[in-house]
Amino acid sequence: MNCLECNAPTRVVDSRKKGGVAVVRRHGCRSCGYRFTTVEVSLYDFERLFKKKDMVSREIVELIENPELF
């Protein structure tokens, strides 16, 4: 993945599973030092969770809206 600020390659600083279906990754730029978070969910799990409206889906929405919580 490339940096959102300078478009240089980044490295994964931290990676965790969240709620059993999401993977939250913290990226750091090798060039400028900018850091950002990505939340990855498979399309299958995303559709299944939001159809059920269970606790896990609320956690994912909360992470997407407030990445500083991670």
φ/ψ region of 54 (left if φ > 0, alpha if ψ in -120 to 50, else beta) reads beta
Q: Is residue 5 part of a domain?
A: no
Question: pTM of the entire structure?
Answer: 0.61
Task: Using pLDDT thresholds of 50, 70 and 90, give the confidence band for residue 66.
Answer: confident
**Which residue range(s) make up the domain with 15?**
10-69
Q: Is residue 4 part of a domain?
A: no
Q: Is residue 1 part of a domain?
A: no
Q: Is residue 33 part of a domain?
A: yes
Domain count within the chain:
1
pLDDT tens column, 15-57:
998 877 788 999 999 999 999 999 888 777 666 666 655 555 6
Beta-bridge mates of residue 27: 12, 36
pLDDT tens column, 6-23:
999 999 999 998 877 788
